[in-house]
């Protein structure tokens, strides 16, 4: 007999798990289909865990403020430890052009409720002890941002979703999204068929392939990035730090790092040349390049012991902005796709808004604020100044 649900979520990762949890909270009988053996085993576990509302897009600011409420209040609401650390985000500035960008978007950030300000070089040196002082102009600091353990978070979201009745089908691969009379009506996997009037594609790097199963072209192309983590050390760093400057070696755009709740420093950089595709093998150049950038900005890190490195994917859209909401041409099909490397921080906000939108017909956030995220938009040049 074909099993019937109110909603099916394809993907059990950064966006799919929160969406399923909140759909259940809205009273919907929900199924998650995940091709991997457990939740959070795709891009989620490659995230470095930073959660910031410090963006230049109104929808992303609002969604991440929502995520921050979920993460920071999780222990009180659900009892689980997510490794939450409220240390803020700091963008130190050494170049006039970066100062212009950051101060230029402050009014928009403040308009949408972000607690952020420009601070002078003395304050930056307090926030980031040992930071290179030469040419330091100041920077921005948003104290409400923070860090979470992606591994602890995915386990907790899965546990709480199951407690609320969400069903999970692991090691099942979506083969077809079923459509009848112009509407979504369910999913066929390699193991069975499941009926539902609502299907949410939250499948990270596979969003394009899954969308094609419904005859919808979801413009998501992944590219891969590397990250790493040190052994724990005595706590010295509160915020997660983002250096917007390109690297002198020509291989990196920005780079960022933070010290997590157990004292380990976790780090990543954005390569100047994209590595398109899903190759997750680590490269030999990552650590030498990262070490050069890290020690130039923060010399005290020169003796840090590196515990491990890894590689994950950023599911990118043509304009660098996620796709969140319904597909108007195919009623019942919803997208939480193309998170552009920010799925972990966006996930709870996206999931809560999608769930409420699906259940009630409207998101918590005003629909006009989500205009930049709609599937039917004209995809142009990137609009995210802090990518």
Q: What pLDDT is stored for residue 96 in this prediction? A: 97
| Residue 122 DSSP SS3 | helix
The mean-pLDDT minimum among 27-41, 69-83, 149-163, 274-288 falls in 274-288
- The residue assigned the tokens 């928009």 is 108
Q: What pLDDT is stored for residue 1 in this prediction? A: 63
Q: What is the pLDDT of residues 319-338, one digit of tens each?
A: 989 999 999 999 999 999 99
Across residues 148-158, what is the average pLDDT?
A: 97
Tokens standing for residue 164: 């609320």
Residue 295 has φ and ψ, to the nearest 5°, of -70, -25
Domains parsed from the chain with CATH numbers: 3-66+150-220+319-373 (3.50.50.60), 86-144+222-314 (3.30.9.10)
Beta-carbon contacts of 271 under 8 Å, excluding residues fewer than 6 positions away, are 225, 251, 252, 253
Q: What is the pLDDT of residues 168-188, one digit of tens each?
A: 999 999 999 999 999 999 999
Q: What pLDDT is stored for residue 71 in this prediction? A: 98
Q: What is the pLDDT of residues 229-286, one digit of tens each?
A: 999 999 999 999 999 999 887 888 899 999 999 999 999 999 888 889 888 898 899 9
For residue 197, is pLDDT > 80?
A: yes
For residue 88, is pLDDT > 80?
A: yes
Distance between CA 208 and CA 117 in Å, rounded?
A: 38
Q: What pLDDT is stored for residue 202 in this prediction? A: 98
For residue 387, is pLDDT > 90?
A: no
Q: What pLDDT is stored for residue 382 in this prediction? A: 57
Percent of the chain with pLDDT over 90: 89
In angstroms, the Cα distances linking 257 to 34, 50, 219, 266, 267 are 30, 9, 29, 5, 4
For residue 201, is pLDDT > 70?
A: yes
Across residues 18-39, what is the average pLDDT?
A: 97
Cα atoms in the Cβ-side hemisphere of radius 13 Å centred on 44: 29
Across residues 209-230, what is the average pLDDT?
A: 96
Instruction: Name the pLDDT band for 79 (thresholds 50, 70, 90).
Output: very high
Distance between CA 16 and CA 14 in Å, rounded?
A: 6
Q: Which residues on adjacent β-strands are paired with residue 227?
A: 268, 310
Q: What pLDDT is stored for residue 366 in this prediction? A: 86
Tokens standing for residue 46: 């490659």
**Cβ of 212: how many Cβ atoms within 10 Å?**
12
For residue 4, is pLDDT > 70?
A: yes
Handedness of CA 167, 348, 41, 191 (dihedral sign): positive
For residue 368, is pLDDT > 90?
A: no
Per DSSP, 319 falls in state T
Across residues 340-357, what is the average pLDDT?
A: 97
Instruction: Name the pLDDT band for 190 (thresholds 50, 70, 90).
Output: very high
Start-end of H helices in the chain = 16-25, 58-72, 74-78, 96-111, 121-127, 150-163, 207-212, 286-297, 343-360
For residue 384, is pLDDT > 80?
A: no
* Summary mean pLDDT of the chain: 95
For residues 182 and 197, is the Cβ–Cβ distance under 8 A? no
Instruction: Name the pLDDT band for 289 (thresholds 50, 70, 90).
Output: very high
Distance between CA 172 and CA 170 in Å, rounded?
A: 5
């Amino acid at each position: 007999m074909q099993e019937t649900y109110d909603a099916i979520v394809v993907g059990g990762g950064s966006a799919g798990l929160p969406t399923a949890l909140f759909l259940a909270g809205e009273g919907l009988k929900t199924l998650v289909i995940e091709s991997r053996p457990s939740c959070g085993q795709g891009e989620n576990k490659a995230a470095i865990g930073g959660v910031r509302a410090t963006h230049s897009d109104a929808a992303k600011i609002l969604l991440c403020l929502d995520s921050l409420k979920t993460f920071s209040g999780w222990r009180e609401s659900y009892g689980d430890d997510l490794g939450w650390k409220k240390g803020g985000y700091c963008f130190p500035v050494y170049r006039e052009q970066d100062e212009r960008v950051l101060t230029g978007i402050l009014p928009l950030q403040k308009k949408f409720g972000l607690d952020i300000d420009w601070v002078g070089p003395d304050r930056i040196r307090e926030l980031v002890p040992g930071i290179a002082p030469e040419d330091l102009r100041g920077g921005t600091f948003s104290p409400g941002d923070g860090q979470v353990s992606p591994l602890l978070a995915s386990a907790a979201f899965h546990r709480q979703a199951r407690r609320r009745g969400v069903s999970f089908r692991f090691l099942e691969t979506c083969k077809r999204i079923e459509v009848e009379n112009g509407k979504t009506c369910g999913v066929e996997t390699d193991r069975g068929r499941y009926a539902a009037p609502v299907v949410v594609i939250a499948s990270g790097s596979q969003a394009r392939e899954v969308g094609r199963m419904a005859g919808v072209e979801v413009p998501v192309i992944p590219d891969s990035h590397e990250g790493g983590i040190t052994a724990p050390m005595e706590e010295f760093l509160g915020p997660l730090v983002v250096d917007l400057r390109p690297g002198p070696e020509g291989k990196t755009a920005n780079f960022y790092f933070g010290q997590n709740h157990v004292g380990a420093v976790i780090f990543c950089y954005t390569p100047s040349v994209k590595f398109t595709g899903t190759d997750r093998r680590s490269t030999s150049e990552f650590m030498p390049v990262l070490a050069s950038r890290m020690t130039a900005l923060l010399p005290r890190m020169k003796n840090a012991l590196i515990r491990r490195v890894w590689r994950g994917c950023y599911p990118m859209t043509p304009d660098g902005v996620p796709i969140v909401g319904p597909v108007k041409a195919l009623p019942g099909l919803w997208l939480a796709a193309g998170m552009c490397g920010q799925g972990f921080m966006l996930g709870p906000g996206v999931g809560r808004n999608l769930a409420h939108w699906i259940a009630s017909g409207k998101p918590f956030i005003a629909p006009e604020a989500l205009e930049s995220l709609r599937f039917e938009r004209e995809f142009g040049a990137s609009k995210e100044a802090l990518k």
